[in-house]
Amino acid sequence: MMRMLGYRLLQAGLVALLVGGLTFVMMRSLPGDSAYRIAAGRYGYDHVDAAAASAVQQELGLDRPAWQALADWFIELLRFNPGNSLVSGAPVMQEIGHQLGQSLLLAAAALLLSLLLGPPLGLIAGLFPGGKLDRMLLAISTALRALPHFVLGLILVLVFALGLGFLPAAGYGDAEHLLLPALTLALGLAAVSSRVARNAMRQVTDSDWYHFGRSKGLNERTLFWRHGLRNASVPLVTYLSVQFIYLIEGVIVVETLFAWPGIGHALVHAIFARDVPVIQGTALIMGLLFVLLNALSDGLCYWLDPRRHNHDK
């Protein structure tokens, strides 16, 4: 366990280096005048001229060598300070603090919905392979997984917001505003988690030790709850840890589509405004969040796997 934690700490450090460096280089490589974009983010495009852009360039030192600006960012990062926004002047962590909370709320709601939809159906399908539920679940999960986030989100808006009028098409404030963006993310996750759960359950029920449990007289309910579920959950948790990247990537698209005030939405606006410290800080938070979630997943798999418990004894 300690070795795993040390590996994750090393991974977090590499993420900070790579994310900071790559985002900086990519933003510097974009065409256009960065000073003009930043000035437009401050004052609005209708109130920006060459003089305002020149003043912003001198104030922020945008004419400094790129290596010097990147080195200054890394030095400040060692002090746990990712800098200040070039547009608002506020600390980056203050800028993205509120948005991060909203993104975590959306991601948690999506993950909860996916766990309620996908794994239970997959486990049932795995207990009865080849049945009607199994075949229907395969067709639905294949169709859902093939749809991009924005297409699936638009379909849900057309059906539930514009067609039926049950839910708002976009916005933020009430719990009902959370449902459509969370469902958009959850359906993609549930589509694959149902198949992973189904295959894991099928592998468990086909194992020799599961058949041995039957021969001892254990009924199907006892076999499932005491032995089958825990063994089938290990590959499912492993899959979910891999799919965290799918969730983090999807948050950016879904937040923009539904005007959800999260970290992905803030990242898009920061890119348009060329607010490099906010972009670097946002990308860094998302990368470190991915490392943290993977570490939690490793610990959960260790706790769930019966073979490791037997080995420890």
DSSP-derived secondary structure letter, 216? T
Structure-token pair, residue 271: 């890119």
The pLDDT, as a whole number, for residue 215 is 66
Q: Does domain 97-309 have CATH number 1.10.3720.10?
A: yes
The pLDDT, as a whole number, for residue 302 is 65
**Residue ranges of the chain whose pLDDT lies below 70:** 1-5, 7-8, 11, 205-238, 240-246, 248-249, 297-313
The pLDDT, as a whole number, for residue 137 is 85
Query: Pseudo-torsion of CA 288, 293, 297, 300, nearest 10°?
Result: 110
The pLDDT, as a whole number, for residue 228 is 62
Closest CA to 69 of 123, 118, 140, 20: 20
- What pTM value is reported for the model? 0.72
Domain boundaries, the chain: 1-92, 97-309
Q: Encode burial over 138-148: b for 16+ CB neighbours within 10 A, e otherwise.
A: eeebeebbebe
Q: How far is CA 303 from CA 67, 141, 289, 309, in A?
A: 45, 29, 21, 8
The pLDDT, as a whole number, for residue 304 is 59
Structure-token pair, residue 87: 């547009």
The pLDDT, as a whole number, for residue 234 is 65
The pLDDT, as a whole number, for residue 135 is 87
The pLDDT, as a whole number, for residue 22 is 82
